Amino acid sequence: MHIEQIRLENFRGYARLQWQPDPLINIITGGNAQGKTNLLEAIFFGFTGHSFRTIRDREMIRWGSSFCRVEINFRFGQQENSTAILLTAEGKKQNKRNANTGRAMDPVLLPLVFTPDHLLMIKGSPVIRRRWLDQELGPLQPGYLAYFRRYQQVLAQRNRLLQGMRVNQRTRQELEPWNQQLAAFGAKVIAWRCRLLAELSPIVREIYGQIGGRGEKAGLLYLSSLPLERTTGETEICERFMGELSRRYAEEIARGQTLIGPHRDDLGTTINGQDARRFGSQGQQRTLVLALKLAQLELGRRFAGDYPVVLLDDVFSELDQNRRAQLIEHIRGKTQVFVTTSQSAGIDLASLSGRIITVREHVLHEGG
């Protein structure tokens, strides 16, 4: 898909803007605080109805204004589409999709966004990686979210019971039905995640190889809190889960919580066989996160038949000239991309062959 026209009114520093971006590569440059990230945020807001950098909607309304508006005309397949969002200072939000009020956007059309914060996918806590697997990739697999939610419910109830058992004597039998449910839903979640990684791994490896150079090989691992070795069959996972619950019974009672299961698992990443988190350079880690996100894009396309637009905020700064060029080449022709880079980074943008747009005080100028 690609955006044909964007119109903004009172969005952050943009009093008014009407812009027809390039259908393929848009490189948005300019000094600090000129409105580069604000422009990506406006596009994201136009499609999703929220920001990727704040949970306080009102911050997006231009200071001194009572509302902001984002309107986007885009093409998806052969179809002309439009989306419009109006947000008022009182917090009222109205969205229109192809002139129908109140229609939410189809999830497959939501832009893929990448900001410097995404480095946390490598460096941050396992919660971030689990959230990516479950909440961003999960919806691509029909039925998965239902099992995932059931697991979360059983887990919460079992934890409550364990806490209760710490203070008043109850029998081990009371825990038994919860163990069975936990293991059954947990095994489904784990088996699904393993299948997903098996599908994702070759894509990540290929994209990483393309952007980072053939000499480097990226890998993904499912790091489970259960002793799974190479087990990925659901029944077997379920049996091991039950066995492990019984082995760690005393410890769980003492701690008052469930110590094993998919809620304690993690996604490991490697570069040339070494743990990327501990040994990867800043540029390697960034390349790896890009590869993960671009693999997500690829899975989304298999699922939905087309790519959404891609928003890359400040990704160039830690990539060398070769990686920057390869990144652009990877996306070129697949979908439309908007990539920001501050002028101070001193990057030779002309060599990347995309349309260059300079932002100065929230006004766009063609060229570098």
Ligand X SMILES: Nc1ncnc2c1ncn2[C@@H]1O[C@H](COP(=O)(O)OP(=O)(O)OP(=O)(O)O)[C@@H](O)[C@H]1O
Q: Which residues are annotated as a binding site for ATP?
A: 30-37
Please tell me the distance from the alpha carbon of residue 268 to that of residue 21, in angstroms, as a whole number. 38
Q: Which does 179 bind (CB under 5 to 8 A by kind): ligand X, Mg ion, none?
A: none
Q: Which does 30 bind (CB under 5 to 8 A by kind): ligand X, Mg ion, none?
A: ligand X
Least distance to Mg ion, CB of residue 313, Å: 6
Please tell me the distance from the alpha carbon of residue 128 to that of residue 124, in angstroms, as a whole number. 7
Q: Which does 33 bind (CB under 5 to 8 A by kind): ligand X, Mg ion, none?
A: ligand X
Asked if 29 is part of the footprint of Mg ion (rule: CB under 5 A), the reply reads no
How far is residue 169 CA from its own chain's centroid? 44
53 versus 334: smaller Cβ distance to ligand X = 53
52 versus 249: smaller Cβ distance to ligand X = 52
59 versus 106: smaller Cβ distance to ligand X = 59
Instruction: Show the CA angle centred on residue 180, arms to residues 137 and 162, nearest 5°.
Output: 95
Give the three-state DSSP class for 105: coil
Asked if 10 is part of the footprint of Mg ion (rule: CB under 5 A), the reply reads no
Q: Which does 341 bind (CB under 5 to 8 A by kind): Mg ion, ligand X, none?
A: none
Q: How far from 121 is each of 309, 316, 326, CA to CA, in Å? A: 21, 18, 21
Q: Which does 176 bind (CB under 5 to 8 A by kind): ligand X, Mg ion, none?
A: none
Applying CB under 5 A, among 10, 37, 231, 285 the residue interacting with Mg ion is 37
Q: Tokens for 212?
A: 């980072």
Least distance to ligand X, CB of residue 64, Å: 8
Q: Which does 12 bind (CB under 5 to 8 A by kind): Mg ion, ligand X, none?
A: ligand X
Q: How far from 92 is each of 42, 64, 164, 235, 289, CA to CA, in Å? A: 17, 17, 44, 49, 35
- Nearest alpha carbon to residue 272 among 259, 260, 284: 284
56 versus 214: smaller Cβ distance to ligand X = 56
38 versus 258: smaller Cβ distance to ligand X = 38
Please tell me the distance from the alpha carbon of residue 51 to that of residue 29, in angstroms, as a whole number. 21
Specify whether the CB–CB gap between 68 and 10 falls below 8 A.
yes
- Nearest alpha carbon to residue 118 among 52, 45, 34, 38: 52
Least distance to ligand X, CB of residue 34, Å: 4
Least distance to Mg ion, CB of residue 36, Å: 5
Give the three-state DSSP class for 363: strand
284 versus 340: smaller Cβ distance to Mg ion = 340
Residues of this chain that interact with ligand X (CB under 6 A) are 12-13, 30, 32-38, 59, 61-63, 340, 342
Least distance to Mg ion, CB of residue 35, Å: 9
Asked if 285 is part of the footprint of Mg ion (rule: CB under 5 A), the reply reads no
Q: Is 14 exposed, middle or buried (0-12, 13-18, 19+ CB in 10 A)?
A: buried
Q: How far from 105 is each of 44, 95, 220, CA to CA, in Å? A: 12, 9, 31
Residues near Mg ion (CB under 5 A) are: 36-37
